Amino acid sequence: MSRKAAIQQFGNQLVMDLQVYLRSLHTHQANNDIVSRARDALLKTLQDHFKTEPQSTLQVQLLDEETFINNTLLPIALQDFGRIKELTRQLRGMGVGEVIFDASVTRESLAEFATAVYSGMHSRQQMEPRVFSGIQALELEYSASGSSERDAHQVVVWLFSGLLDGLDGLRDLVAEGHVPTMVPFMRHMRLLVDLTVERGTVIRHLCLARREGGSVDDPIHQNACRTFLAVQIAHANGLDRAGLMSLGLASILDLVTSGAEPDEVLTRLAPYTTLSDLAPQVMMVLRELEMVRRGRRAGHQGALLHLIEELVSTVHGEEPATLEDVHSQLGWAGGVDTAVLDAVLAWLGDPPLGAIAQSRSMGDVLLLDHGEDGETLRCREIFEDGLGEATVLHDFQEHKPVVFGSQIDFAYEEPDEDDWA
Amino acid sequence: MLDKLISSMEKAFRSYRLYEARGPQYEAHVREMASQAALVTEQGPAFLTVTPHGLQTNMERSSEEEDLNRTWFDLFEQGARQIVFTTGIESREVREMLQIVASDQAEGDDILTALWRRELKHIQVVVARTLVRGVGANRSTQDTLEAQYGHWRNLLAPDAKTSDKQVQLSPDDLRVLAVESEPLLWCVDCVEPPPSSVDSPLFEAQTDDLDTFLGFLGDMSREDCDHVLSHLIGSYARLGLTDKINQLMAAAEAHPALGGWSIQRMLNAAGGIDALIPLIEAGPMAFRESLSAMASVDSAMMEELLSKIETETIRDEVESLVITQESAPLAFHSARLSSPDLAEQMESVQALFDLGTEEATYLAIEGCGSFHVEVRAYTLTRMEPIYEPPMRNSMTRLFRDKEESIRIQVYRFIKENGERHFLREALALAKDGYFGRRSEEEQWDVIQALSTHGNLPPINLFFCGVAASGSLWTSEHMLRIQHEAIRVLGKFPTPDGLHTLKKLSRKLVGAKELREAARVQLEKMERAPKSRPSGPDGAQS
């Protein structure tokens, strides 16, 4: 049995034991035999695990539609689904979405935990206390894409952050000799494409905002920025979903093929069978990318990735770059068809959103968006302690340089709605 | 109405599994589902909610007691929350959806992502994929970051050993910011531009990716190439990408980069003939090239395939696809006679006539039944010079054609050929009460066909009647016909004709010129050397 299957089997057992134990409290007192037997069964399941892995923890996350154990999705059996759903709803009602066990769990701590659950269940209040010997009962935040404006923004950040972790994991696993599955990245690309439509401007700001000193030494960050921007620019130029997913996956898999000769690219990617029907497109884009990097002419998707790579490396260089620097860097890229260059420059715009420009009245301003009508340039004034309110930019100083100096950690406080009352 | 749609979807899904996506019953269920979807979307989109218990309408309340439904439970577990149908749905889209959702997927395949990528125009599945963040009461940033890294690592390689990596991140890394505060709050309320239509040709020229890709396979070792191709065709089959399967299989025997890949091997990689049959049955045309290739290299395999197709019409269609002009010209052209394409039909009728054999000719004259008037006219033109009695049925069909131009062409043929059968037909037509409703041109051509053969007693007798039927109010067209009748009676003298002409010449009423014409004919007859009146069989001296 694979490690994943083993943890899934164990996870199902643990979650069911937990459900039976907490369920028994509905109808019986804590000292009842039935409750005691259910508690002992749960304890035995936990002890069996900790006997072999005493240093580990067991993290159970309960969502409305998914249950994870140690970040592994549990395939809940059809007949158990209703019971797990009930457990999730019961715990969520008292503010618990995640339960973590470690080897110090005892019969007594399980009883204390049950008492707290019993009390929360009947008082209909948040569970208190939450920490017991070997048991933590924690809140769990989760969000679905597209649920609201606010959520969509949050999901963009999580998506980007998730991709950074994913890329990190991919690089490490490949170095260890594994062939990671691409399925999680495919799901990630699906969300990204959907969010590109909903919150494209936020994605743009996220990718152009700099860290202190840039990210020259951080290929993971640069790869994530390139992946996000490539999907956005290709979407703006009409690439279909399958094409966008291939392009995004190609950008990610560049971590595996970067530096290979074009003729070797297919061989390096041959083991990645989870690319499924997208394999030809992904392989060819990466082949094209390696050709363009060598100054040879190639297809538009490879050229697009290369240009965005140049854009990202310039914007996230050691010092903030000007718009002129970016234009000049992109103009020097060899092997790129003019149509691709024009598409990137058209998307970037002049002045580009996400950059810092000069206003006659406000000084430095961050170019924020094009307003409701899509034509009115809006900005936020940059103060020493953070950013100001969004306002229309009437006095843009065209002769002053536009700099890609936006910061990922800009301070900003949303106005209190009462102030407007 | 939504309830009916739900019920038809349940049936289609069950039928997919029960009949392995083939056969008339499955086909009926697919069409029923498409019809119900078309019905409910006639006036706008229809929304169905996916629950573990089955599909529900928005108005319906979920019932806890209801049994779980395997199909929808699986889809729900994968994150599907709503199915939206919009106006214009086609059976093809229903089939594609069933192929992705109801078929057995390989381990790790993500049904919803596959469905999302397919971009079905009138069926959308709304997905609620959640992103999880633990809010650790006692957990440090470091622990949280390591848990997140571990989560991804586990997703990417579930069987890999757990990492003991210490995640080292700078304070302004987004991952750190995301854990400790609310990052990027400054752009939370920035406004998205209004959606605009895309009119960019940037990615237009990427249509034949697979062909280009096959060309690059030469860069790989034989082993890698086999590995890639096996998985690729397997993916295409699972996802129902028929055009890609067709392209790969058609290239199997001939492409230099695919040396060693036979069609049989491609089939095995796709899951065998049985895996492809549902796709072939759903649209045989999509497999045209690959089926032809299969037929030319392995007829036994083709026989096996045909024997497994249950629906007769589809079997016929497949059969017609696999024959080629070179291998079986009669079958090839004969099959193309039912093609909707005018050029194809025309080309095949011509080719069959040009073959010159009796078998080919009799296949060619099936062009008489074509729904293209051009094909029927052409068939008639080619039939005329080689007409023989066994072709009578086809000629009769044209004699009764709905197009006047075709009928006229047949009357002219009858005039020239004098086939007794068709003369009888023409005579019956002329005597018919509805004859007068035909156009003057058509009537005239029928009269011409008959008058050429006015020596035949029934025709001669018919003209006697026509000549005698004049009145004061006769139209010019009728006068013209009566003149023709008088001419025929003069040209082919018979006792009845002579009597008719005499009677007509003495008539006190009616058109004067007809009386004159009758007299002229009588004078001609008197001046002419005595001849024997026509015999009973109409033979004239």
d(CA A335, CA A141): 46
d(CA B496, CA B490): 11
Grouping H, G, I as helix, E, B as strand and the rest as coil, residue A88 is helix
pLDDT tens digits for range A331-348? 988 778 899 999 999 999
Last-in-domain residue among B296, B322, B348:
B322
Answer yes or no: are the C-beta atoms of A243 and A193 closer than 8 Å.
Answer: no
Judgement on whether residues B13 and B32 belong to the same structural domain of the protein: yes
pLDDT tens digits for range A232-258? 999 999 898 989 999 999 999 999 999
Burial of B217: CB neighbours in 10 Å, binned 0-12, 13-18, 19+: buried
Residue given tokens 């409910």 in the structure block: B40
Alpha-carbon distances of A320 from A366, B77, B385, rounded to whole Å: 14, 46, 88
**Structural domain that includes position B157:** 141-183
Which tokens hold the place of B368?
A: 């008489």
Non-local (6+) Cβ contacts of A106 within 8 A are A43, A133, A134
Single-letter amino acid, residue B368:
C
d(CA B218, CA B215): 6
Which tokens hold the place of B466?
A: 């026509």
8 Å CB contact of A270 and B165: no
d(CA B82, CA B418): 73
Inside any domain, residue B78:
yes
Judgement on whether residues B226 and B304 belong to the same structural domain of the protein: yes
d(CA B443, CA B278): 56
Q: How many domains does chain B have?
A: 4
Q: What is the pLDDT of residue B460?
A: 93
Q: Which residue of B has its CA nearest to A8?
A: B158
DSSP for A313-359 reads HHHTSSSPPBHHHHHHHHHH-TT--HHHHHHHHHHH-SSPTTSEEEE
8 Å CB contact of B113 and A242: no
Q: What is the pLDDT of residue B536?
A: 42
- When CB atoms are compared, the residue of A61, A142, A408 closest to B183 is A408
Inside any domain, residue B309:
yes
Among A350, A140, A339, which residue's Cα sits nearest to residue A237? A339
Q: What is the pLDDT of residue A285?
A: 95
Judgement on whether residues B243 and B146 belong to the same structural domain of the protein: no
- When CB atoms are compared, the residue of A161, A190, A386 closest to B175 is A161
Q: What is the pLDDT of residue B59?
A: 55
Last-in-domain residue among B304, B322, B340:
B322
d(CA B116, CA B96): 12
Answer yes or no: are the C-beta atoms of A234 and B203 closer than 8 Å.
Answer: yes
Q: Among the residues of A133-218, which ranges form H helices?
A: 149-175, 183-208
Sheet holding B46-51, edge to edge: B54-57, B46-51, B80-85, B123-127
Please tell me whether the peptide bond between B457 and the residue prior to it is cis, using omega within 30 degrees of 0: no
Alpha-carbon distances of A303 from A161, A244, A289, B151, B483, rounded to whole Å: 26, 14, 6, 33, 86
Judgement on whether residues B11 and B67 belong to the same structural domain of the protein: yes
Residue given tokens 């994870």 in the structure block: A68
Q: What is the pLDDT of residue A4?
A: 62
Judgement on whether residues B28 and B107 belong to the same structural domain of the protein: yes
DSSP for A253-315 reads HHHHHTT--HHHHHHHHTT-GGGGGGHHHHHHHHHHHHHHHTT----HHHHHHHHHHHHHHHH
d(CA B244, CA B215): 15
Judgement on whether residues B110 and B68 belong to the same structural domain of the protein: yes
Q: What is the pLDDT of residue B415?
A: 95
Answer yes or no: are the C-beta atoms of B115 and B30 closer than 8 Å.
Answer: no
- When CB atoms are compared, the residue of B130, B172, B212 closest to A211 is B172
d(CA B323, CA B291): 9
Burial of B228: CB neighbours in 10 Å, binned 0-12, 13-18, 19+: buried
Which tokens hold the place of B419?
A: 């086939």
Answer yes or no: are the C-beta atoms of B129 and A191 closer than 8 Å.
Answer: yes
Answer yes or no: are the C-beta atoms of B119 and B79 closer than 8 Å.
Answer: no
Q: Which residue of A has its CA nearest to B194?
A: A374
d(CA A328, CA B240): 46
DSSP tally for chain B: helices H, then strands E: 27, 5
8 Å CB contact of B174 and A234: no
d(CA A353, CA A371): 12
Q: Which of A222-231, A365-374, B334-343 is predicted with the least confidence, judged by mean pLDDT?
A: B334-343
Size of interface A-B (CB pairs under 8 A): 312
Among A239, A151, A150, which residue's Cα sits nearest to residue A193? A239
The domain ranges of chain A are 3-138, 149-348, 356-401
Judgement on whether residues B244 and B225 belong to the same structural domain of the protein: yes
Inside any domain, residue B169:
yes
Q: What is the pLDDT of residue B538?
A: 45
Judgement on whether residues B318 and B336 belong to the same structural domain of the protein: no
Instruction: Residue count of chain A, please give it.
Output: 421
* B248 vs A contacts (CB less than 8 Å): none
How far the first Cα of chain B sits from its last, in Å, is: 81
Per-state percent for chain B, helix, strand, coil, to nearest 5 = 65, 5, 30
- When CB atoms are compared, the residue of B175, B192, B221 closest to A200 is B192
Burial of A416: CB neighbours in 10 Å, binned 0-12, 13-18, 19+: exposed
User: Which range is most confident: A134-143, A202-211, B92-101?
Assistant: A202-211
Three-state SS string over B42-65 comes to: CCCCEEEEEECCEEEECCCCCCCC
d(CA B380, CA B391): 11
| pLDDT per residue rounded down to tens, chain B (541 residues) | 788 888 898 888 888 888 878 778 888 888 889 898 888 888 788 888 887 778 887 655 554 545 666 677 777 777 777 888 888 888 888 888 888 888 766 555 677 888 888 888 888 887 765 555 544 445 677 777 887 788 788 888 877 777 777 777 777 788 888 777 777 888 888 888 877 776 667 887 655 678 888 888 877 888 888 888 888 888 888 888 888 888 888 877 777 777 767 777 777 777 777 777 888 877 787 787 778 777 777 777 778 888 888 777 788 778 777 777 776 788 788 878 888 889 989 999 999 999 988 889 999 999 999 999 999 999 999 999 999 999 999 999 999 999 999 999 999 999 999 999 999 999 999 998 888 899 999 999 999 999 999 999 999 999 999 888 866 567 888 889 999 999 999 999 999 999 999 988 887 777 788 888 999 988 888 887 655 555 444 444 3
Judgement on whether residues B159 and B98 belong to the same structural domain of the protein: no
8 Å CB contact of B198 and A236: yes
**For residue B367, what is the DSSP state?**
G
d(CA A207, CA A197): 16
Which tokens hold the place of A290?
A: 């390696």
Q: What is the pLDDT of residue A42?
A: 93
d(CA B66, CA B253): 54
- Nearest chain B CA: its distance from A241 CA (Å): 5
Among A324, A250, A323, A240, which residue's Cα sits nearest to residue A292? A250
Among B399, B359, B354, B398, which residue's Cα sits nearest to residue B375? B398
- Mean pLDDT calculated for residue range A268-276: 92
8 Å CB contact of A206 and B184: yes
Single-letter amino acid, residue B251:
A
Residue A166, CB half-sphere, CA atoms under 13 Å: how many?
A: 25
Inside any domain, residue B272:
yes
* A190 vs B contacts (CB less than 8 Å): 112-113, 116-117, 127, 129
* B176 vs A contacts (CB less than 8 Å): none
pTM above 0.90, yes or no: no
Residue numbers of A between 16 and 35 with CB closer than 8 Å to B: none
CA torsion angle for B521, B525, B528, B534 (degrees, to 10)?
Answer: 120
* A72 vs B contacts (CB less than 8 Å): 154, 158
* A393 vs B contacts (CB less than 8 Å): none
**Mutation site for B-interface testing, chosen from A1, A92, A168, A368 by largest number of B Cβ within 10 Å:** A168
Residue numbers of A between 80 and 119 with CB closer than 8 Å to B: 81-82, 98
d(CA B5, CA B364): 47
- When CB atoms are compared, the residue of A202, A373, A414 closest to B190 is A202
Residue given tokens 């979307």 in the structure block: B41
* Interior angle at CA B65, CA B61 and CA B70, nearest 5: 90
8 Å CB contact of B170 and A212: yes
Last-in-domain residue among B322, B340, B366:
B322
Judgement on whether residues B274 and B228 belong to the same structural domain of the protein: yes
Which tokens hold the place of B72?
A: 């929808």
Which stretch of DSSP H or E encloses residue B4? helix B2-18
Judgement on whether residues B6 and B40 belong to the same structural domain of the protein: yes
Residue given tokens 């995301």 in the structure block: B178
Q: Which residue of B has its CA nearest to A167?
A: B152
**For residue B391, what is the DSSP state?**
G
Grouping H, G, I as helix, E, B as strand and the rest as coil, residue B301 is helix
- Average pLDDT over chain A reads 87
Q: What is the pLDDT of residue B208?
A: 62
**For residue A141, what is the DSSP state?**
E
d(CA B426, CA B443): 10
| More confident position, A43 or A31 | A43
Q: What is the pLDDT of residue A62?
A: 84
Which tokens hold the place of A238?
A: 């009409």
Judgement on whether residues B118 and B94 belong to the same structural domain of the protein: yes
